[in-house]
Amino acid sequence: MTRALFIVDVQNDFTEGGALAVAGGDAVAEAVSTYLAGHAGDYAVIVASRDWHDPDSDNDGHIALTGEPDYVATWPVHCIADTAGAEYDPLLVTDAVTHHVRKGQGVSGYSVFDGTTGDGEAIADVLAARGVTDIDVTGIATDYCVRVSALDALARGFHVRVFTDLIAGVAEAPSEAALAELAQAGADLEVSA
């Protein structure tokens, strides 16, 4: 068994005070950092993803530049490339991260697998090259990018654990539904050690 850790979108725009703030986002950043301090050595690959949307673009309809967003398929301006909102939350210590992934560059990308590393490498290729079979998922938001990233990993044949103490969702009911869906799809819902 070779394991990877996904840290999904722990960014300023998704934590307290951000454009699409999720309650508990700062706590997730801090808790993931604490987990990494004791467990980074458990992983062959540690991936941190960020939304990294193109400026002056609706990013394939993802960002509502005019009119009100519907908060389902269209969103307020957030995580624009090279802005403070797109940066990692300052409570997230990224020293152990082996691969930084940017997703949503000009498109609507929710899954870590939709992004690429700074070298343009697909994360699926990174995982394959290192023989990864298992992925642990943490981050923001349970009901959106965490959900889609975990489902994508399951669909690609990985064994997936979602650490329920290292995630935060936009809203309680859809987050609970997302976790139920993930469990039904084969993910293990666990508390981090």
Catalytic residues: 9, 103, 145
- Interacting residues of 53 by C-beta distance below 8 A, sequence separation 6+: 59, 62, 63, 78, 79, 80, 81, 86, 104, 105, 106
CA nearest neighbour of 139 among 94, 108, 186:
94
Assess contact for 92 and 10: CB atoms under 8 A.
yes
Q: Which two tokens stand for residue 13?
A: 């725009």
Distance CA 60, CA 167 (A): 27
Assess contact for 137 and 150: CB atoms under 8 A.
yes
Q: How many CB atoms lie within 10 A of CB 100?
A: 17
